[in-house]
Amino acid sequence: MNKNDDMGFVSNKIIILISIFIGGLIIAAPLAVKMIGVGFNVYVTAGVLAYSVTFPVTDIIGEVYGKKAAQQVVRGGFFALIIAFALIQVSIHWTPAPFWEGNAAFMEVMNSSMRIIIASIIAYTISQTFDVWFFGKLKTKTKGRFLWIRNNCSTIVSQAIDTFVWTGVALYGVLETQELQQIFFGEWGAKVAIAALDTPLVYLGVYWLRKKKNPVEIQPCENVAE
């Protein structure tokens, strides 16, 4: 078995990348409750930057360790979103302390986050799965060359899918059609711009990950001495 495709074979660098991926993925949902302006009448959610870091991470991992490894990271992110959804549900229904006066504001933000997290789970599953698959296809077509083309093309298409699904599920019925269009094109444009700007970071990340991988074998539980 090729170690590059086996996520039982990990390194400290992989752990750092996956932590960045999960952190950006989870924090993007509550941040998306707020709408912000970025100039030129363009409006996006405050979580757009946090979510955008997830795509270069899977591209870096996919480039170095292969499609299978990137798919496993995506599956890990899916379960992280499910756990976040469950924990928020628990926090909403947990009886607040009688002296705490912030429950109304907390409930308003968290209840808004719930629909956003559901939208995020659906959009994430579709777009990230597509992104990993499309990146792998482009890598085959380009014979491993032109990383900048694979990074940008896969992100442009997958982020269009992600933004369309997320906007429809999270905001349909909340905003007017014109506002939905503004959010969609604003979010997608911001994600494409971020993808273009992060291309040097993807090259740097691939170089960093390939250099002295420092592998650590993860032993099965039954082989660990008690």
Could you tell me the maximum CA-CA distance found in the chain, to the nearest angstrom?
63
Residue 105: give its domain's CATH number.
1.10.1760
Quote the pLDDT of residue 42.
81
User: Which pLDDT value is given to residue 10?
Assistant: 53
Each residue's pLDDT expressed in tens, for the chain with a length of 226 residues: 454 544 444 578 888 999 999 999 999 888 888 888 877 778 888 888 888 888 889 889 988 988 888 899 999 999 998 998 899 889 888 999 999 988 888 888 887 777 888 888 899 899 889 988 998 888 888 888 888 888 889 889 998 999 999 988 988 887 788 888 888 998 898 888 888 888 899 999 999 988 764 444 434 444 434 3
Cα(first)–Cα(last) distance of the chain, in Å? Answer: 29
Domain count for the chain: 1
Which residue range(s) make up the domain with 200?
Answer: 3-223
Task: Single out the residue of 205, 62, 56 nearest to residue 136, CA to CA.
Answer: 62
What phi and psi, each to the nearest 5 degrees, are found at residue 98? -65, -25
Q: What DSSP element (H or E) covers 3?
A: none
From the list 23, 189, 52, the residue with the least C-alpha distance to 128 is 52
In sequence order, the β-bridge partners of residue 10 are 216
